[in-house]
Amino acid sequence: MEFRIAVVKGDGVGPEIVSEAMLVLDKIGAKYGHTFSYDEVIAGGCSIDINGVALTQQAIDTCKAADSVLLGAVGGPKWDHNTDAAKRPERALLGLRSALGLFANLRPAMMYKALADACPIKREIIGDGFDIVICRELTGDVYFGEHGRRESTNDWGTIGYDDMNYSEYEVERIARRAFEMARVRSKKVTSVDKANVLETSRVWRETVARVAEEYPDIELNYMYVDNAAMQLVRNPGQFDVIVTGNLFGDILSDEASMITGSIGMLPSASLNESGRGMYEPIHGSAPDIAGKGIANPIATILSCAMMLRYSFGLPTEADAIERAVEKVLDEGYRTLDIAAKGEKTIGTHEMGELIRANI
Ligand code: IPM
Ligand code: MG
């Protein structure tokens, strides 16, 4: 089969890790008889430098025309001081999410057995490890509500405000994704909200409960977000699929990735209603190590596996990538970020080559 992929290499380590991932896709193509063609898209900080804005209409159009988008990372200290929203690198992410309708963000957080020592949580708490998917709503909530400022009527100065809201429609479609996901996993969904305080969360919770009636085979529980943050470090093994809104999902997914001890390993998928998606590592652009050839390409490579599985319907090929990654780790190869003290490390390209050799 033939697939067209829009490639946003982005900033920092983005270009080096994405290049390795593209070579992995080429290897899959050669082995299984598929053709992947790539349209390079400039977005993020590099686009601010070239085009004056982080995301151009042309970039959006190219991503829309593709079968999926592969993204490295955007951002860096060079653009951090920009106050104009269009000149902030994250505008590229938010703009693409909204333009492509990528409402479902899947962020797996699992502990690799070979990397158990990198996990910052005590062994007795971790037990047999954990395998969580955070199913984060990505195009609504306080991120996309009305933002603004107004003057206070007393003498408290300027008030900043951001409207938090969710419609039943938005909650229904993300809840369905979570239940479907749980069906092919351990059949458990935890819905996270702040229904003890927020009306948005009460609509969220009622809607999730209604959708749950269609999935009697799935165990559903609810948790307030503060408790969920605590439970993630207290007993991460209790979670399977966590479904939550945009803001809570942003925070909890960082926490979940941290407890795996291997943030350089975690991929993500952002999907729209038609199943097309944007695939990217969950880590950032790591400007401190950019250009040195030492960044870990695994999260981006595993993001390609997610692309094959979720957007292209190629589970065998996705498995092949995931197995190759595990094999290389089991054999003891490490990039700097996942190496224990004294362990020998390899670079970005060498890691990519080893993974390809195992496909
Ligand atoms: C993420 C990031 C983004 C978000 C930022 C960069 C806008 O933190 O993808 O989690 O908040 O969604
Ligand atoms: Mg985040």
For 162-176, what is each residue's pLDDT tens digit? 999 999 999 999 999
- Distance (angstroms) between ligand 2 centre and the Cα of 254 equals 6
Predicted confidence at residue 325, as pLDDT, reads: 96
Predicted confidence at residue 17, as pLDDT, reads: 98
- As residues whose CB is below 5 A from the ion ligand 2, the structure lists 250
Ligand 1: residues within 6 Å at CB?
A: 90, 93-94, 250
**Buried (b) or exposed (e) across 109-137, using 16+ Cβ within 10 A?**
bbbbebbeebbebeeeebeeebbbbbbbb
pLDDT in tens, 88-135: 999 999 999 999 999 999 999 998 888 888 888 888 888 888 999 999
Contact residues for 22 (Cβ-Cβ < 8 A; gap 6+): 7, 36, 38, 70
- Distance (angstroms) between ligand 2 centre and the Cα of 267 equals 13
Measured at the CA of 131, the angle between CA 294 and CA 25, to 5 degrees, comes to 45
pLDDT in tens, 136-189: 999 999 999 999 999 999 999 999 999 999 999 999 999 999 999 999 999 999
Nearest CA to ligand 1 atom 11: 250
Q: Which of 61, 226, 288, 319 is catalytic?
A: 226
- Distance (angstroms) between ligand 1 centre and the Cα of 255 equals 13
Does 319 qualify as catalytic in the annotation? no
What predicted TM-score, i.e. pTM, was given to this entire model? 0.94
The closest alpha carbon to 165, from 183, 139, 133, 186, belongs to 139
Lowest mean pLDDT among 40-44, 70-74, 334-338: 334-338
Residue 246 alpha carbon, nearest atom of ligand 1: 12
Does 162 qualify as catalytic in the annotation? no
